[in-house]
Amino acid sequence: MTVTIFIVSLLAAMAIGMPIAYALLVCGVTLMAFLAATSGLVIFDSQILAQRFVEGADSFPLLAVPFFLLAGEFMNAGGLSRRIVNLAMAWVGHFRGGLGYVTVIAAVIMASLSGSAVADTAALAALLIPMMRAAGYNVGRASGLIASGGIIAPVIPPSIGLIIFGVAGNVSITKLFLAGIVPGLLMGLAIGLTWWWVAKKENVPAGRKFSLSERLRTTAQGAFALALPVVIIGGMKFGVFTPTEAAVVAAVYSFLVGMFIYRELKWSALYGLILSAGKTTAVVMFLVAAAMVSAWLITVANIPTEVAAMMAPFMDNRILLMFMMMVLIVLVGTALDFTPTVLILTPVLMPVVLKAGIDPVYFGVMFIMNNAIGLITPPVGTVLNVVCGVARISMEEAFKGVLPFLCAQLAVLFLLVLFPAIVLVPRSGGCDDPVFFNPVSNPKETSMFKRRTLTTALVAATLFASTSAFAQFADRTIKFTNGVNEDHPVGLGVKKMQEVLAAKTGGKMKINAFWGGSAGGDLPATQALRAGTQEMVCTSSSPLVGIVKELGAFDLPFLFANEREADAVLDGPAGVYFNKKLEEVGLVNLAYWENGFRNLTNSKRPVTKAEEFDGIKVRVMQNNIFLDTFRTLGTNAVPMPFGEVFTALETKTIDGQENPFVTIETSKLNEVQKFLSVTRHAYTPFLVLYSKKLWDQLNPQEQAVLREAAMEGQKVQRAANRVLNEKSLANLKTKGMVVNEVSPAEQRRMFEKVKPVYDRNVPTIGAEAVTIVLDALKKARGS
């Protein structure tokens, strides 16, 4: 049903001629209205629209887009593209249909310099079509070849398409880039072979042969252009820079070469080039921002679940499922342009992909390749339009010309559906990284017993419901977001809550849980609770210090010595005090769960004593006390939302982070971190929060059941967390982390070093809150 609303509203807006970005906003608003009318969510709010819109564009990875576009402009205006064509000509121009091979080679090289199919095609067409026409080539055929060469750009890195997919789907852009290389080369190979066959059949003329000295000269001239892809891909592969930094390097490099080495870039042209890159960026970013609004509502409205249900018959056969999704993408891709297709389909399909256990990197590359092919199919076929414009031929002629190449590229796509391993060959893990994996459905701890209680509860519930014993409960689906993954003990706590709700409300109140930050980070989610647009979140207290300054008391370093002390404080009057503070800002805290004692991980060195923190670039949670603590310890601390940590570590934007063992393991941070130092520098509780606005709409029975469920969940969650804490430490060692203990004496020295943090921050936290916590702590210690 919701799927229909989504599709109809989008199509209707487009049908009346609305630009796609606005159509996406209309679609978002329609979904909002629908949800507000049917689910009781207080979601119809212009503020949310504005907030999501701005947040959508506010992204570090997307900053790569303007720089790669600028690099493309400099490359064409600075003579890099022309030298690449000259170089290819000197080596392969003398074969039959030589200019065709020149096209293919130049297209592949240019694809590794720029990320945009349209820009590459325009440059190739402008350079090659006049030459091909003069040499007596069939212009339709030549244009077709150029178009099919141009669409290699989004597959071979850098690629604007892969960046947008990575951002929309939360997939590593570096991995996507590396995985795009082989498929892109195969696309080139496919059209090269097809051209060989076409040239023979149509008897296309050969060009002149170049002498060895000419060949060496053009190669030397082209060398500066050829060096760039090596720098970019090597730099990302070895973690020297992030894709965004690579984009800046590419722009600066092509500027310097065009300006000072080839001397073709004119100062006077600069403004125009920057303006042109700026305009294209604006189009892309506006689209991205609008799409993030609808993407968010797509998730909230549970459309991916509906789509997954439709795809259910294919779920077990992953190749068939890939095939079905590829067909869907072709269909959508022929009707829509490149970027909108990525932005609309990614949030819809990614959950299906993950659920079926398909590697998101593989899927991403296939998605983008498929979409790129859509650029040379009518009716939209943007790239085909570009060659038509340059060659001044009709769309029919161009399509006839491109047909054999189109078939060849579709064949490559099909081949990669059948043999997915080819795509992932250059990945760091080598060939043994599985493309298909077993998705984690139930954490192992879901024992048979628990499942049986659940079933019994459900059966009992249905029986009771028919006698209307649950009349006091309304049908409610509660959205509950989490930054941790489902296999974290929080997953067991939530499961327990679901069981209690099922039993006590006859299945009327349900929790719909989201994991791994897939439906938004902790801080935005908490704000959504305050606004009344989402019911629940489980978050560390730390990112909330900007909202409730008193919570900062828990961030004071080395406050608690063990879990017993933490429980005593949180479950006593101090806990009640903080609950009151939270209510004042629109948040009902149902229970304190456990995140646990936090420890430092980093990629530089083991930290065994206070001095060894020096200079490490550490991510901390978004609050001043952690920032102050880690700066005082000597690190170069940067605040960052948890959702960005993995990628930032992977791309070496930061060296380290700090979290409890369980979170380190379940969020797989060990894959991107080498050293784990058992610092136990802070204990942060998890808050299980409910929106006060929505809480006030519940009746007392509903509120009581929720509180009870959260407290039952607390028992399960805390117990599991403590068991898993030790296990996780052992697992992290087996998985290759180098673990070091910190001696009590050294811990003491660390504490001495950060003591000034207390003095500096107590005034901002408020003496009252700190005193309450310290008093409770004294009582717990029996002193």
Interface residue list for ligand TK8 (CB under 6 A): 482-484, 522, 539-540, 595, 621, 642, 659, 663
Provide the minimum distance between the beta carbon of 387 and ligand TK8 in the complex, in angstroms, as a whole number: 49
Choose between 663 and 670: whose C-beta lies nearer to ligand TK8: 663
Provide the minimum distance between the beta carbon of 656 and ligand TK8 in the complex, in angstroms, as a whole number: 12
Residue in 548, 550, 540, 653 with CA at minimum distance from that of residue 597:
540
Choose between 369 and 688: whose C-beta lies nearer to ligand TK8: 688
Q: How far apart (Å, rounded) are the C-alpha atoms in residues 515 and 498?
A: 15
Give the angle subtended at the CA of 435 by the CAs of 430 and 441, to the nearest 5°: 130
Provide the minimum distance between the beta carbon of 443 and ligand TK8 in the complex, in angstroms, as a whole number: 16
Choose between 68 and 675: whose C-beta lies nearer to ligand TK8: 675
What angle in degrees, to the nearest 10, is found between the helix axes of 767-781 and 744-765? 140
For the chain, what's the residue count?
783
Residue in 544, 540, 552, 555 with CA at minimum distance from that of residue 682:
555
H/E/C letters for each residue in 203-225?
Answer: CCCECCCCCHHHHHHHHHHHHHH
Q: Is 260 exposed, middle or buried (0-12, 13-18, 19+ CB in 10 A)?
A: exposed
Provide the minimum distance between the beta carbon of 691 and ligand TK8 in the complex, in angstroms, as a whole number: 17
Provide the minimum distance between the beta carbon of 716 and ligand TK8 in the complex, in angstroms, as a whole number: 18
Choose between 307 and 710: whose C-beta lies nearer to ligand TK8: 710
Provide the minimum distance between the beta carbon of 493 and ligand TK8 in the complex, in angstroms, as a whole number: 13
Choose between 164 and 523: whose C-beta lies nearer to ligand TK8: 523
634 within 8 A of 611, measured Cβ to Cβ: yes
Choose between 93 and 596: whose C-beta lies nearer to ligand TK8: 596
Provide the minimum distance between the beta carbon of 598 and ligand TK8 in the complex, in angstroms, as a whole number: 7
* CA distances, 751 to each of 233, 557, 632 (Å): 43, 7, 11
Q: Is 429 exposed, middle or buried (0-12, 13-18, 19+ CB in 10 A)?
A: exposed
Q: What is the DSSP letter of 317?
A: -
**Token couple for 269:** 């042209």
- Spatial CB neighbours of 540, under 8 Å, sequence gap ≥ 6: 483, 522, 595, 621, 684, 685, 686, 687
Give the residue at shortest CB distance from ligand TK8.
Answer: 483
Q: What is the DSSP string of 690-712?
A: EEHHHHTTS-HHHHHHHHHHHHH
Provide the minimum distance between the beta carbon of 542 and ligand TK8 in the complex, in angstroms, as a whole number: 7
Residue with tokens 């999501």: 52
Choose between 102 and 640: whose C-beta lies nearer to ligand TK8: 640
- Spatial CB neighbours of 216, under 8 Å, sequence gap ≥ 6: none
Provide the minimum distance between the beta carbon of 165 and ligand TK8 in the complex, in angstroms, as a whole number: 24
Provide the minimum distance between the beta carbon of 642 and ligand TK8 in the complex, in angstroms, as a whole number: 3
Choose between 349 and 484: whose C-beta lies nearer to ligand TK8: 484
**Token couple for 763:** 């005034």
Provide the minimum distance between the beta carbon of 676 and ligand TK8 in the complex, in angstroms, as a whole number: 15
Choose between 9 and 663: whose C-beta lies nearer to ligand TK8: 663
CA atoms within a 13 Å half-sphere pointing along the CA-CB vector of 649: 25
Choose between 518 and 651: whose C-beta lies nearer to ligand TK8: 518
Provide the minimum distance between the beta carbon of 626 and ligand TK8 in the complex, in angstroms, as a whole number: 9
Choose between 176 and 523: whose C-beta lies nearer to ligand TK8: 523
Choose between 508 and 718: whose C-beta lies nearer to ligand TK8: 718
Choose between 73 and 655: whose C-beta lies nearer to ligand TK8: 655
Rg (C-alpha) for the chain, rounded Å, is 29
- Spatial CB neighbours of 694, under 8 Å, sequence gap ≥ 6: 42, 529, 532, 535
**Token couple for 127:** 């350079």
What angle in degrees, to the nearest 10, is found between the helix axes of 573-584 and 563-570? 60
355 within 8 A of 349, measured Cβ to Cβ: no
Cα dihedral sign, 190-191-195-197: positive
Provide the minimum distance between the beta carbon of 578 and ligand TK8 in the complex, in angstroms, as a whole number: 16
Cα dihedral sign, 441-445-450-452: positive
* CA distances, 91 to each of 200, 214, 387 (Å): 19, 9, 25
Choose between 540 and 677: whose C-beta lies nearer to ligand TK8: 540
Q: How far apart (Å, rounded) are the C-alpha atoms in residues 620 and 641?
A: 8
Provide the minimum distance between the beta carbon of 252 and ligand TK8 in the complex, in angstroms, as a whole number: 34
